[in-house]
Chains A and B, each alone.
Chain A
Amino acid sequence: MKAAVIVFPGSNRERDLAAALRRATGQEPLFLWHGEAEIPELDLIALPGGFAYGDYLRCGAMAAHSPIMREVRARAAAGVPILGVCNGFQVLTEAGILPGALLPNSSLAFECHDVHLRVENSQTIFTCGYAAGEVIRVPVAHHDGNYTADPEVLDRLEDKGLVAFRYCEESGELSAAANFNGSARSIAGIFNDSRNVLGLMPHPENATDPLLGGTDGRAFFEGLVGALQ
C-alpha cells in the first residue's frame, strides 16, 4: 500500500501520522512537499496536523491554495482515500473538499487532552476497525476545532451517515461538557458524500502506542489499511 503525508510549511504532526501509518502498514509513507504540483499514484493521501503558514489567516486558508491541493482535489474526486487530521481537516474545509468550517474553540483557548469519541458510522474504509456506537479515547490538540455548518448541511450530514465521530462521555452519551469545543451537534469528524474523504479534529495517530497512554487509535489505522489492501 502506497501512502503519502503532505508537508505544508508549518505542518508539525507529519511524523506522528507517518509513525501510525508505518505501524499499520509496515512500510514507510512518502512525504510530499506542498509545492509539488505532480504526485505519484497513491492509495492514501494524508494531511497532517500543525499550523500551515502559521494559520495567521484562517486556519488552513493559505494551505488550501498550495500547488499540491489541485491534485488532492482531483484525486478526491477520483475516489482516492484522503485523510485530514486537525489542521488537515481545516485545510480540507478551506479547500471546499469537505463542507463547513472550524471556528475557535468555545473556550477561546488551545486545548490538549484526551477526549471520548463515539463512532457514528463504521461502514467506511476509515472506521471499519470499529463497531458502530463504539466509544474510543484519543487526544485532541487544537485552538480552532469548533465545527460549524448551515443547518441544512448538518441535516444532510446526519441523514446520509456522513458524521464519522462525535465527542461524547465515556459512556457514549452526548453532553455539553463532553462537547468541549462547542462543535455543532458534537461533531468531531465528517466524511464527504462518497466517504473516501475523512476530516477529523482529534488525533488517532497519537493513540497507537501503549507507552504513550492509549491504543484506541490503532484500530483506525489497521482498519483503514485492511480496507485498502
Chain B
Amino acid sequence: MTGATTENLAAEHGLSRDEFARACAILGRPPNLVELGVFSAMWSEHCSYKSSKIWLKTLPTTGPHVICGPGENAGVVDIGDGEAVVFKIESHNHPSFIEPYQGAATGVGGILRDVFTMGARPVALLDSLRFGSPDHPKTRHLLSGVVAGIGGYGNCVGVPTVGGECGFDPAYNGNILVNAMCVGLARADHIFYSRASGPGNAVVYVGAKTGRDGIHGATMASAEFGGDAGEKRPTVQVGDPFTEKLLLEACLELMAGEAIVAIQDMGAAGLTSSAVEMAGKGGLGIELDLDRVPAREAGMTAYEIMLSESQERMLLILQPGGEAEARRVFAKWQLDFAVIGRVTDTGRLVLRKDGAIEADIPIAPLVGEAPVYDRPYETRACQPEIDAASLPARPPLDCLSRLLGSADLSSKRWIWEQYDHLVRGNTVKRPGGDAAVIRVSPSGKALALATDCTPRYCRADPRQGGMQAVAESWRNLTAVGAQPLAVTDNLNFGNPERPRIMGELVGAVAGMREACLALDYPVVSGNVSLYNETMGEAILPTPVVGGVGLMADAACAVDLALKRDGDALILIGETKGHLGASIYLREIEAREDGEPPPVDLAAERRNGDFVRGEILAGQVAACHDLSDGGLLVALAEMAMAGMRGARLEPAPEGLPPHAFFFGEDQARYLIETAAPDALLAAAGAAGVPARRIGKVEGAALTLFGRNAISVSALKATNEAWLADYMAQG
C-alpha cells in the first residue's frame, strides 16, 4: 500500500480535522491516498447528506402506494395493474455553471440511469432551471448551453422532455441551477435494487470505459466556488448519449431475465460509491481487482479509477451462472463487460492493483459512521405585510403586458421546442401547461408531471415557500385532472455552515413536511445540492418539487386553452389580493418585500379535490391554476393557449383592482365551463368558494367593458421576450 496521508492532504480533499481523525480511528491507522479518496468521496456532502440528513428524515416518505421511498436510486410508486412509476430529480448545478452543455447533458444522463437501474424504462424527462439576471454577461451563454445539453442528451436517448420551468434572478448569477427529473415505468413485482447479496457472486462492470474525467466531481459539488470556477473544468464529465441508449437497452434486456442480483449506476464518486453502497446495504464486503476495470487510457492509478466520474457505467452483481447470459447481452449492444471482483463476507472493501492491495476499509463504519451534523441555524424575521391599498392604481392591461413580457412570465417555447417532447408517441398534454400528461398504457392510464418552486417566496419565508412549492405542484397536477401520488424533491441551497442558509433549509423542509402530510403527497426520492454560492453570494433557497399524478383515462385530461365562445369563467378559491413577494410587486413596483401568500392546506385540499372531481365528471372545458401573476396572468395564459378572448365582470367591491387582478392568493383555479350553474351549486355544496367572473368571448381580453387588448398582441409580447433575448447573442 502507498504511504500514510496527513491532515493537510485530507483538508485538500474537503475532510475536516475531526473527519480525518474519525477515518484514522476506523482504520486504526492513517488512510493511504486511495483510502483517503474513498473517505472524502463517501463523506462529501453530495454523497453523505451530512448537513441535511437529520432534516430529511422528518419528511413523510410512506403511503399506501409507495413501494420504495428514498435511499435507493429512485422512488417507486404503485399505479395499479401490476405497474409502477419510478422517478427521481437530481441537480447538476456546479458542472453546468462551469461547462453548461456537458454539465446539463450529463445531469440528464445521470438521472436516466438512476431510473433504468431500478428496472424501469424511462418515459419522460422534466427540468427545473434557474439562471442569473438576463443582463448578466454569462446568462445567455449558460442558458443556451444548458438547453442544448439537455436536448442533446434526452433527444438522442429518445426520452421525451415533456415539462419543466425556468426562472431568472441575480442571486443565480454565479451559480445557476440545473435540476433534471426522470420518470420511468416498471413492473411492480420486478424492481431492481442495489443491495448486494451472496458472497462469491461476481461483481460486473458494464458500459463505457473509465477515463480521467470527473475525478472528484462529488467533492466539487460539495464546496462553494471561489473566483476560479473555470479552473474546475477538468472535473466536469463528458456525456455520450449514444452509449447511454445502448446501456439502457442492454440493461432492460438483461433485466427481463433472472441474471441480476443487484445493480447500481456509477454516478457521483463513481466506482467508489457504487461498490461501497451495494456492499454496505447488504452488510457484506467487496473485493475489486482494478486491473480488470475497462480503462480509456493506460497508466491510470487506483486513486483515479476509484474516483473517476466517467459517464454511462453500471455495476452489477450477478447470480451464479448468470455470467454467460449477461456477457451475451452486452456483447450484442457492443458495450464493455468485465468481471472485476467478488462479493465477500468480510465486510471490507478491498482494492487490488498490480498485485498489491491498494485499499482495505471496513464498510460498515465507512457508511454507518459517516458524519452527520446538526448545524446551527437561525430563523428569519417576519416581513411587514403589503397593504395593497397603499400601492398606486395603474392601468391593469398595461401591467398585464409588462408582466407577460417579463423574463419570468415570458413563454418558454424557445426552450421546450429544442426538446423532443413527442418521441415514444404518448404525449397527451405537451409542455406549456400546468402539467404534462403522458399515456402509460393502452388502457389510457396516464401520468401527470410537473416541477415547481417559487424561490422569491422561499427567500421571504422559507417555511411558507416550502409549503407553497408542494402545494403548487399538487395544484398543477390537479388542474389537468390527475390525482397527485408522490413527489421527488431537489433541495438547492447555499452554504449550510452559515446559520442563515441552514435556517432556510430547515424552514423549507418544515413547510414541505406540513404540506406533504396534509395533501397525502409523500416524498419518495430526492437530492440535496448545497454550497450553491460564488464569492460568498448564495442563491435563493430553491426547494424544487417534482410531482407525479395518476389518471385512469388520459381522455379525461384537460388543458388551459379556452375552447368555446359563451362558456362561463369560474374562479375557484378565495381572493384576498395578497401582493407580498408577488411578481406584480417586483416587476411593476420594483419592490421585493412583503410576506409571501399564506398557504392554507385545508383549502388547497378542499378546492383541489372539488376541481378534480368536476374535471373527471366532464364539467370542465379548460382549467388553469393561479400562481405567478395571479388571476389576470392566468386568464391571459388561457386566452393565448386557445387564441380566444374573454370578457370579465366588474372587480369585487373592497379590493383595489391590482390586488384583485394580480394578487397571488393560493388554492385557486380558473375554470371554463359550459354548465356554470351546476358547477356553482356543486361548489356551494362542497363549501368551496366559487364565483362567476366572466365568459369566453371574441379575440380580446375586455375588462368591465371599457379596456380591451387583443389576445394576439398579448401572445406576441409573451412569445417575443425569450426568443429575442437569445437572438441578441
A interface vs B, CB < 8 Å? 9-13, 15-16, 19, 49-51, 53-56, 109-113, 139, 141, 143, 203, 205-206, 209, 211-213
Contact = CB atoms under 8 A, between A and B. Distances in A.
Contacts of A206: 422, 425
A50 B158 contact: yes
B439 A211 contact: yes
A141 B158 contact: no
B155 interface: yes
B342 interface: no
A15 to B, nearest CB: 7
A12 B242 contact: no
Given A9-B334, A213-B430, A51 B421 contact: no
A43 B432 CA distance: 41
Interface of B: 148, 151-152, 155-158, 240-243, 245-246, 333-334, 416-428, 430, 439, 444, 554-555
Given A9-B334, A12-B157, A112 B425 contact: no
Contacts of B416: 112
Given A110-B148, A211-B428, 18 more contacts: A9-B242, A9-B245, A9-B246, A10-B156, A12-B158, A12-B245, A13-B158, A13-B425, A16-B423, A49-B423, A54-B243, A54-B245, A109-B418, A112-B155, A112-B419, A141-B422, A143-B155, A211-B439
Contacts of A203: 422
B555 A110 contact: no
A49 B424 CA distance: 11
Contacts of B241: 51, 54
B428 A16 contact: no
A51 B156 CA distance: 6
Nearest to B151: A110
Contacts of B423: 12-13, 16, 49, 141
B144 to A, nearest CB: 9
A51 B419 CA distance: 14
Contacts of A211: 428, 439, 444, 554-555
Contacts of A113: 417
Contacts of B158: 11-13, 50-51
Contacts of B148: 109-110
A91 B469 CA distance: 46
Of listed B152, B155, B416, residue having the most chain A CB within 10 A: B155
- What are the 8 closest A-B residue pairs judged by CB atoms, nearest first? A12-B158, A54-B242, A16-B425, A51-B156, A141-B420, A110-B418, A112-B420, A110-B151
Given A50-B158, A51-B155, A212-B427, A112 B242 contact: no
A139 B422 contact: yes
Contacts of A141: 155, 420, 422-423
A56 B428 contact: no
A212 B240 contact: no
Contacts of B152: 110
Contacts of B430: 213
B108 to A, nearest CB: 14
Nearest to A208: B425
A213 B243 CA distance: 32
Given A110-B151, A112-B420, A141-B420, A205 B425 contact: yes
Given A109-B148, A109-B418, A211-B555, A56 B425 contact: no
- A contacts with B: majority SS: mixed
Of listed A9, A19, A53, residue having the most chain B CB within 10 A: A9
Of listed A15, A51, A211, residue having the most chain B CB within 10 A: A211
B153 to A, nearest CB: 10
Of listed A56, A111, A112, residue having the most chain B CB within 10 A: A112
11 contacts: A9-B242, A9-B334, A12-B156, A13-B423, A13-B425, A16-B424, A49-B423, A109-B148, A109-B418, A110-B418, A112-B421
A55 B421 CA distance: 19
A107 to B, nearest CB: 9
A110 B444 CA distance: 30
A216 to B, nearest CB: 14
A88 B241 CA distance: 19
B418 A212 contact: no
A220 to B, nearest CB: 14
Given A113-B417, A212-B427, A9 B554 contact: no
B641 to A, nearest CB: 13
A10 B425 contact: no
Contacts of B426: 212
B242 A212 contact: no
B157 A112 contact: no
Nearest to B240: A54
Contacts of B419: 110, 112
A10 B242 contact: yes
A55 B152 CA distance: 11
A212 B151 contact: no
A15 B418 contact: no
Contacts of B155: 51, 110, 112, 141, 143
Of listed B156, B157, B334, B421, residue having the most chain A CB within 10 A: B156
A52 to B, nearest CB: 9
Nearest to B158: A12
A90 B564 CA distance: 42
A87 to B, nearest CB: 10
B719 to A, nearest CB: 12
A51 B418 contact: no
Given A10-B156, A51-B155, A19 B420 contact: no
A203 B156 CA distance: 16
Nearest to B726: A109
Given A110-B420, A112-B419, A112-B420, A54 B428 contact: no
A113 B334 CA distance: 34
Nearest to B414: A109
A51 B240 CA distance: 12
Contacts of B424: 12-13, 15-16
Contacts of B417: 111-113
Nearest to B553: A211
Nearest to A33: B332
Given A112-B418, A141-B423, A212 B428 contact: yes
A139 B430 CA distance: 12
Contacts of A54: 156, 240-243, 245
B425 A19 contact: yes
Nearest to A54: B242
Nearest to B242: A54
A139 to B, nearest CB: 5
A111 B417 CA distance: 5
B521 to A, nearest CB: 27
A111 B422 CA distance: 11
A76 B593 CA distance: 69
Contacts of A16: 423-425
A205 B426 CA distance: 12
B511 to A, nearest CB: 36
Nearest to B144: A109
B614 to A, nearest CB: 21
Nearest to A141: B420
A31 to B, nearest CB: 12
A143 B243 CA distance: 19
B422 A55 contact: no
Given A10-B156, A51-B242, A209 B422 contact: no
Nearest to A56: B242
A9 B422 contact: no
A15 B242 contact: no
Nearest to A180: B417
A111 B418 contact: yes
A42 B244 CA distance: 32
Contacts of B439: 211-212
Given A51-B155, A110-B155, A10 B421 contact: no
